[in-house]
A and B are shown apart, each in its own frame.
Chain A
Amino acid sequence: MSRPELSRRHFLRAAGTLIALPALTSMGFKAFAAEKAVTQPKRMVFLGFGYGVTNETWFPKVTDTGASYALPEGLAPLAEHKKDFTVVQGLSNKFSDEAHWGSTFWLTGANRYSEPGQSFHNGISADQVAAAKLGMDTRYGSIRLDCANAVDSGHGPGSMAWDARGKPMAGHENPVAAYHRLFSDETMPLAQRQALLAQQRSVLDAVLEDAARVRRGLSRSDVDKLDEYFQSVRDIELRLSKDEQWLDRPKARAPFPEPKPGLAGKDEIKVMYDLIVAALQTDSTRVLTYRQPVSALLASLNIKVASHDMSHYSPGERMEAAQKRDLEQSRLLAGLFTKLKATKEADGSSLFDHTTVAYGSNIRTIHYLDNCPTLIAGGGSGIRLGQHVVLQGKSTPLCNLWLTLLQGSGANVASHGDSNGIIKELKA
């Protein structure tokens, strides 16, 4: 039997039984894998924090670039990981002019007004471009995590993830629901699950019949609208055929028990980060987005200032709140990096080595939409880490960064959004 590429997936498929992945390294898999070069899959994680950062204390000095830059106060909790991430300054989305929309266009770079006859337009987001390439072999093409009242956290309307037609893709607001989605046990016997799949197909068949009836005689724009429905059904069909492929393979076992219900703010972000690591570790998906809560984070830090007021800080109580927010977010992010590093791949490398984490917002601070705060970490897209890069010129499209990361992760697209090239300064 030839084995052109041995991935964890193949191993699982061959084994055909449930194996807790963390056990792999201890089974001597490492030695076995070392016989042959193993390519670990690339992963991408996009973390958005809505209402920007504290301008004065989050950004490194623009004159202090390169590898030996001094870590600013707001990033101090990330000190132990300093050589593993890069801070980029000088990126922005040129069409953005909504001062409270930190995530709506962050990954798309789209022009809201570009379609005559419509008051809102968006394009595909970078994560969905990645999902189209990296998500083929996983149970879930992408996973979107979200928070309640995202608008109140400065994320703007819709979603962070937008599909190929520029429609928002809903995410899981609730860690418990996300956990079950990823890891809930399938207790149903195989034959019954097969029957269920067949039944689900018949269900889709029935609704499509009705969709075809409704479609008759609709105007063009209504047909477009109904296409969302058809697309939803197609997506499910796709998932069903994936499910079919995966029928004899149980869902990955969660590396930790079900999260407590009702977590909010700090604890909520922490458990969502754990879920991100778990989803990558079990190879349930390779692409994730997360709109992090801001107002709930403030509440969990016992900060009385409302999130929007905090974002419009001036020296004093509000600015202190903004800085506390930065510190806690950095602390949480450091925790995520530590976990990603501690999670070993089959070949002994770490998950962190094959993952790209993009961390930022379309809002810099207050009402500023230029120089979007941007921090890139992980070895997934082969960029230079440990750097502080200040790009020349005021407005390098943020989409140039997404393009650089996408290409570096093996999603070979020629352009993204309003990109006009890759960022050479980031290439290793």
Chain B
Amino acid sequence: MPLRRLTLLPFLASLALGATPEARIDEKHRAFLKEYCVECHNADKQKGKLRLDDIPFTLDTVQWADRWQKILNQVNSGEMPPEEAKQPDKTAKADFLEMLSDTLVTARKTIGDSRGLITMRRLNRREYKNTLRDLLGVDLPVNELPADGGAGAFDTVGSSLFMSSDQFERYLALGRQAIDEHFIRFSQPTKTLKIHLEAEDYATPRITKFYAERVDCHDRYVAWTTAVDAAAAKPENAAIVAAIQAEKKGNATHRYYQWKRIPGAPSPEKFGFIDEIHADQQGRRNWVLSAPQQRAYLDHPASKTGSFLTYSDVFANPYQPFNVPSNWPAGKYTVRIRIAATANTPKARHFVEFGPMQGAPASTHEVTGSMEQPQLLEFPVEIVKGGSRGFFLRERGSFDSNERALEIFGEAHRRNGVGPEFALWIDWIEVFNSDGTPTTFKERREVELHANRMVGGTYDGYYKGGNEAAKAFLATGKPQKGIPDAQEAKFRVKVFGQHGPSFERYLNDPLTKTGAYLTIQTVHTEEVITLPPYQPSGWLKTKHEVESVTPGEYMLRFRIGAVKDAPKERRFVELGSRKSGDKDFTLLQAFQVSGTTDEPQTIEVSVNLTTDSPRTFVLREKRDVKLDQALYDAAQKATGVGPPSALWIDWVEWEGPLKAQKSKTLSTSVLTANTQGLTERDHAREIIAKFALRAFRDKNPGAPYLDKLVALYDARRKAGVTFESALKDPLSVILASPGFLYLAEPNEEKTVRPLNDNELAVRLSYFLWSAPPDDTLLALARAGDLKKPAVLAREVDRMLASPKADEFVRGFVYQWLGLARLDFFQFDTKQHRDFDDSTKGAARQEVYETFAHLLRQKESLNKLIKNDQVYVNGLLANYYGLEGISGDGFRKVDLPKDSPRGGLLGMAAILAMGSNGRDTSPVERGAWILRKIMHEPPPPAPPNVPQLNRLENKILSTRERLAAHQEQPQCAQCHRKIDPIGFGFENFNAAGKWRTSETYEKKGVGTKTWPIDPAGTFYKGSSFKDYFELRDQLASKPEKFARGFSEALVEYGMGRPFGFLDEPLAAEMIAQARAQDYQMAAFIRALVLSETFQTK
């Protein structure tokens, strides 16, 4: 190592030599040693074999740093100076300790400084996951891999990223899983059979033709009846016409039936009719009954681009038929249609039936697509040899029977003179062979069926039935079913009294006829969305369309509304996943419910399913379920029933796997077609080589490696597996190879060298996306354009704007601000009722969203300290008491003038980290401010400092309790800086809510309430009277904050600790950003455009 330091010197000089600070103790402190130490530790009297009279004051080697560390530890632990010896006064001792602690921090940093050396990085867990996603379009859970980072370093720092044999095996296994799932999602049938039929091609010409015939018939009928009328009008015929008319009064057509009796009236045959009956049917009746619908159909512009499904009249379009070509082999095919429901028709008519010609409908599907946004529906069909190949689509119930169809048509026709309004419109129909291509399924479940069966069954059987049996037992003494003894009988009577009314209330509520409530503690606490093969409950089986579903992206939907009187804070629903049992719940997301039971809303969320991920998703009211019992008992005591429900669900639905074009994770198949007539083996090699090149981020893996991979393929192929399967081994091995796992930047020279374009693209994309470079970046690198400053700056902006940069935001912010602490303890939700997991999740999200918004909107870094806006969703707005904000998306909200929110300091997540889940911790908060905002990190807590004796059986206010920190110099050296800042935040409770007083209760001792006193003074600095002044003073020193931010960016982006050689770089980043009002993106651009970022 010393060698490297020397040889690096030429480069150092080029940067700015002399930046390396010296860990040196000021000579003035020699007096302290002389006064209190040297008497025992000198040349003659070396107690503990230690001399302090000649100890060097420069800590430039491990040996001297260790020696001073020992001295510090001895003084900290109170062992030195010994009790009987002369003692320094408290301030002098604290000052000496502070100086020595700080010097040692500097010494450790100086000696441990890597001199700009970047240790080669392996993909960390996040990057590995994202890289698989970009490469293969699969999103795997990678919890199997060990967590990265440690010893305080970012998870991008190469020297802290290790490899072990276990881990290597996990890479192999995960790589294999990724390849398997990719194959499932992207494998394509080797030959494609497909027909595409535009619906209007069938229906519109047909109706046009029929309508023309109608017009023709009607014209001829008019001509004929006009001629008959002319004959009837002759005076000589008046008597006979009057006689005919008298036979059927009011029937204008009767005379035409009796045309033969009117002399001179022409025969209908002359007008092309068979007879008068035919003429009336064709020329008049059809004109009234059939033609208006045809006319309306053809007049509708959508009949030019698709077809409507009509009722009854076969001369319109009551069913849309289509055929599977006769030359297609028997087998499974998929029918896919693009369909819409019209806006002016009732929902009950938005169902389409599909089935074989001359058969009953095979399936019925709800149509939710609109004319503006039609939807795709897919149904599987199986063609058997010699079986039917014709199929139809029609509106549900449009042909349950001829009579019924006529009845419905007639009712509408009487009403509007046309017929039923058009409800369904088909754009096109496709049929294709579906081997290997996952079909998309969609299933909706009306939840009341299961819910009522379960709630009703439990009530009838266990509670009501049990109560009756128990009463019978108590009356007769005879054992009853399920009631073996008096103890059980009494218990059942009791629980019936406790819970019976809550069940009754549920079952008697009219809304449980059409949906299900979500309750608290018992009755019906949750609703589930289950994908095959899972069932909603053991009470009632549903028939799933398929037995199991393949991995992929799925859409979950549910229609939900809040009960009229539900309070604001109860209008949130949580969606979680369930692996097993009926208790397991892993929170995925919370949603604000803005719909009501009258006007419910539909919420949808996409989930990514892997082979072994849960298939059951649970909906429940957002709350801490640990409090259920208490809530229920309280309500039951007060009202006789459990708490009223706040949420009601109409139906639940799932759909998927979503097709690539619908899915967020877009990718193409690794299996490329053999377009050049290669042999099978050469084709395999081509696939392997292409994938390796992509996986290695455009670096050529070399022939010897490919040979070995092809050998793996050969071995499997010889063993008799298919072409595709044989490829899986070599492809997964690529994902465990160093070329994939490591970001190598070779440099044998002892001096730094510029990165090449490809290396720069890779470094940049893992910096800003935690993912491999995309095609645009790689193309720029290949063309040699990436290093042009203008191009590079533009790329930085493009990358930050991309949603992929959310990975940077999360990865960086989480580590920079130490958000891990938020999960270090469970919140005491008895004390902080509404700080449940969902709120905590939203609070954490606020940190990311705020950072991302500020970054992308070119805002100033200073807004992280103080801002007159917040970025919140409905849940958090409600928590902060901001009115009029609802919905689950985070958005910018202007704050009232006197709000303590805005910026990190007022965020619930940050404040909650400065607590233990129940009470505030001014120490944690003060230390956090020193570390993150003021960039004056206190040295690590020293070991072996004697614990102070606390006064037991007394309730002390927080300030009184922490006063002990100032008593001993060992504590005071740091706490005199930390604690006053922490007190300034005392107006926020442990969960970040505003308060003006604090109450503490100690069992057996009593209760104490004291007003919050936030006033304080920075150590050797200015005073503040409250939080607002404290915040203003922190915001007035943006340079320090900018400095900490810059150092963190350098470490995260470079993948190595911030070193002393980086001083000029940090200064330059800040200078450039300052010129742009501390714009956050400017720091990043300055870093990326620096020489440091572009060299290794």
A contact set with B: CB distance below 8 Å: 95-100, 111-120, 149, 152, 157-158, 163, 167-170, 195, 199, 202-203, 205-207, 209-211, 213-214, 216-222, 225-226, 228-229, 231-233, 235-236, 239, 261-262, 295, 299, 304-309, 314-316, 366-370
Nearest opposing residue in chain A for B944, CB measure: A368
| CB within 8 Å for A157 and B151 given contacts A203-B733, A207-B737 | yes
Q: How far is the CB of B731 from chain A (nearest CB, A)?
A: 12
Query: Do B738 and A210 touch across chains, with their CB atoms under 8 A apart?
Result: yes
| A216–B918 CA distance with the chains assembled, in angstroms | 56
Task: State whether A203 and B729 are in contact (beta carbons under 8 Å apart), knowing that A218-B747, A221-B117 are contacts in the complex.
Answer: yes
Known: A99-B940, A205-B708. A222 touches B162 (CB 8 A): no
Chain B 483-504 interface 0/1 with A at a Cβ cutoff of 8 Å (1 = within)? 0000000000000000000000
Residues in B whose Cβ lies below 8 Å from that of A370: 77, 943-944
Known: A99-B940, A119-B151, A367-B943. A206 touches B709 (CB 8 A): yes
Q: Given A113-B62, A233-B168, A366-B947: A152 and B112 within 8 A (CB)?
A: no
Whether B163 pairs with A222 at a CB distance below 8 angstroms is no
In the complex the two chains form, is A229's CB within 8 Å of B708's CB? no
**Interface residue stretch chosen among B517-525, B820-828, B1070-1078:** B820-828
B726-750 interface with A by 8 A CB criterion: 729-730, 733, 736-739, 741-742, 744-748
Q: Which of B1-9, B553-561, B678-686, B877-885 contacts A (4 or more CB under 8 A)?
A: B1-9
Task: Report yes or no: A119 in contact with B828, Cβ–Cβ below 8 A.
Answer: no
Q: B715 touching A199 by the CB < 8 A rule? A: yes
Which residue of the partner chain B has the closest CB to A172?
B166
Q: How far is it, in angstroms, between the C-alpha of A117 and the C-alpha of B747 when the chains are bound?
A: 18
The residue from A116, A202, A366 contacting B1, defined by CB atoms under 8 A apart: A116
Task: Tell me if A306 and B163 are in contact (CB < 8 A).
Answer: no
Q: How far is the CA of A124 from the CA of B146 in the complex (A)?
A: 20
A299 → chain B closest CB, angstroms: 7
Most buried by A among B66, B117, B165: B165
- Given contacts A203-B733, A219-B747, A314-B947, A195 and B164 within 8 Å (CB-CB): no
22 pairs, A vs B, C-beta closer than 8 Å: A113-B111, A113-B112, A116-B1, A117-B1, A117-B115, A157-B149, A170-B146, A203-B172, A206-B705, A210-B739, A213-B705, A216-B746, A217-B746, A217-B748, A221-B119, A228-B163, A235-B164, A261-B579, A261-B580, A306-B917, A308-B825, A370-B944
Asked if B645 CB lies within 8 Å of chain A CBs, one says no
Q: Which residues of A contact B114 (CB under 8 A)?
A: 117-119
Residues of B within 8 A of A235 (CB): 164-165
A119-B108, A203-B733, A261-B580 known; A113+B824 contact, CB < 8 A: no
The CA-CA distance from A124 to B705 in the complex, in Å, is 34
Is B150 among interface residues, defined by CB-CB distance under 8 A?
A: yes
Tell whether A202 pairs with B711 under 8 Å between CB atoms, given A225-B158, A236-B169, A366-B947. Answer: yes
Please give me the residue from chain A that is nearest to B580 by CB atom. A261
B747 contacts A111, C-beta separation under 8 Å: no
Q: Collect the chain B residues with CB atoms within 8 Å of residue A220's CB.
A: 4
Q: With A229-B163, A235-B165 in contact, do A158 and B943 touch (Cβ < 8 Å)? A: no
Complex contacts, B917 vs chain A, CB 8 Å: 304, 306
Which residues on the B side are within 8 Å of A169 (C-beta)? 164, 166
B711 contacts which chain A residues (CB < 8 A)? Answer: 202, 206
Q: What residues of A have a CB within 8 angstroms of the CB of B153 in the complex?
A: 119-120
Distance in angstroms from A305 CB to nearest chain B CB is: 8
Docked Cα-Cα span, A199 to B728, in Å, equals: 13
- 10 nearest A-B pairs in the assembled complex, by CB-CB distance: A157-B150, A217-B746, A306-B825, A235-B165, A206-B708, A222-B120, A119-B112, A228-B163, A210-B737, A369-B943
Contacting pair B702 A213 (CB below 8 A)? yes
Say whether, besides A218-B747, A306-B916, A369-B943, A226 and B162 are in contact (CB < 8 Å). Answer: no
Q: Is B356 an interface residue (CB 8 A)?
A: no
Minimum CB–CB distance for A392 against chain B, Å: 15
Extra contacts besides A119-B109, A213-B705, A261-B579 (18): CB < 8 Å: A113-B111, A116-B111, A117-B112, A119-B153, A157-B151, A163-B164, A167-B162, A169-B164, A169-B166, A203-B733, A205-B708, A214-B744, A216-B746, A217-B746, A236-B165, A262-B580, A306-B916, A315-B952
Query: In whole angstroms, how far apart are the Cα atoms of A169 and B165 in the complex?
Result: 9
Find out whether the CB atom of A308 lies under 8 angstroms from the CB atom of B737. no
Q: How far is the CA of A113 from the CA of B702 in the complex (A)?
A: 41
Docked pose: A192 CA to B62 CA in angstroms: 55
B950 in the interface (beta carbon within 8 A): yes
Whether B744 lies near A222 (C-beta < 8 A) is yes
B52 in the interface (beta carbon within 8 A): no
Contacts of B944 in A (CB 8 A): 367-370
B residues within 8 A CB of A111? 62, 66
Partner of A97, one of B111, B826, B942: B942
Binary A-proximity of B1-42 (CB < 8 A = 1, otherwise 0): 110110000000000000000000000000000000000000
Q: Which of A99, A113, A206 contacts B712 (CB 8 A)?
A: A206
The yes or no answer to B65 lying at the interface (CB within 8 A) is: yes
Residues of A within 8 A of B65 (CB): 113
Instruction: Note all chain B residues with C-beta closer than 8 A to A369.
Output: 943-944
CB distance from A407 to the nearest CB of B (A): 28
Which chain B positions have C-beta within 8 A of A229?
Answer: 163, 168, 738, 741-742
**Within 8 Å of chain A (Cβ to Cβ): is B73?**
yes
CA distance A214 to B950 in the complex (A): 60
Give a binary string over B1044-1059; 1 marks a CB under 8 Å from any A CB, 0 the rest: 0000000000000100
| B239 within 8 Å of A (CB atoms) | no
| Interface contact B704-A96, CB-CB below 8 Å | no
Residues of A within 8 A of B514 (CB): none
Cβ contact within 8 Å between A209 and B705: yes
**A184 to B: closest C-beta gap in Å:** 14
